[in-house]
Chains A and B, each alone.
Chain A
Amino acid sequence: MKEKSDNELILIVQKGNKLQSKNALNILYVRYSQVLFQFMFFILNKDEDKARDFVHDIFLQLFEKKYRFDSSKNFKSWLFTIAANKSKNELRRLSVIRKNESNLNLEFSKTETAFEFDKKIKVWNVVNQLEEKQRQAVILRFRLNWTIKEIATFQECPEGTVKSRLFNALKKLSSILEKKSIEYFN
């Protein structure tokens, strides 16, 4: 069963008997759980427990046949779409918290050492300030090494739009980092 494609395996999960379904799900879990976890980890502001819970829930719900797979689609994109949709409510909640806290985590105190500042200013620590689609594109491109084409399939948009999103994300990130370092060193 290990040689089967993702699409074949998910069809077994959804249509096979319990044992076949379980085996197929295990293989898909080995193939995708860690990358999906990485994606959720960064999407959910590095909340390890929440990311783990989300990924486990997704796989359990696949087993319970809660989601119907359209065999004309690409499994990887479909799986990440489920994850992105699932995280939406959580992101909404987080954005409310973030507004309330007014980005406290990026305020630098003058007592911090340059080393501490350097650690805080790492680019991956400010990725959470990007808007949702830009953040997804950045994580998929630079963390999971997806191609522009794969991201376009996942986000259901032309490749040009993905490039434009990445461009705007880079512009925003570099301006945040620059602003923060000017604030700190002045």
Chain B
Amino acid sequence: MSNKEYNKEIYDLLEAKNWSQLSVQEKEYVKHVLGENEYNNMHQTLLSLQNETNEEIPEIGPLVIQKKRKAFIQQFFQLKMPVYQAASILLTVMLFSYFSDFSKQPTTSKNNAQFNISAEYSKSMKEDSLAGIFITGIYR
């Protein structure tokens, strides 16, 4: 008989009987494979596994709403992706045309340094506010 076969048979005995409940024949068989001491220890461990179940297991509770909302948002964006993408493309085009207008501004005169500085300043201000709007739009 293979080890696995022995293990199977002794496991059945362990679940059913303690050492004193085994028949003479069963005791001989167990002694041949394990020994009395080890059988007793394993039986005791099995009883502990069965009995030490009074430890409080926390309750799982209902499905967390946040998760539901998260899943819903993910689903929403999956479904609406073409619309979302179209909106992003449109916004990119608008931004591009907006910045193209700036590039046409008359500058380059060496004598007009002050004008250049103020134009750059106003351009950067507009870029900042536009970026702000853009970012807010995305996060909404």
Contacts and interface: CB of A to CB of B under 8 A. Distances in A.
Task: Give chain A's interface secondary structure class.
Answer: helix
B98 to A, nearest CB: 40
A143 B5 CA distance: 25
B58 A48 contact: yes
Interface string B63-78: 1100110010001000
| Interface range on chain A (Cβ under 8 Å from partner) | 35 or more
Contact of B71 (A52, A60, A124): A60
B46 A170 contact: yes
Contact of A56 (B14, B41, B53, B63): B63
A114 B42 CA distance: 22
Interface in B1-31: 4-5, 7-8, 10-12, 14
Contact of B11 (A38, A142, A143, A167): A167
A113 B5 CA distance: 42
Interface string A74-88: 000000000000000
24 contacts: A34-B59, A37-B57, A41-B57, A41-B58, A48-B58, A56-B64, A56-B67, A57-B67, A60-B71, A122-B48, A122-B55, A123-B45, A124-B55, A142-B50, A161-B4, A163-B7, A167-B14, A167-B42, A170-B49, A171-B42, A173-B45, A173-B49, A177-B41, A177-B45
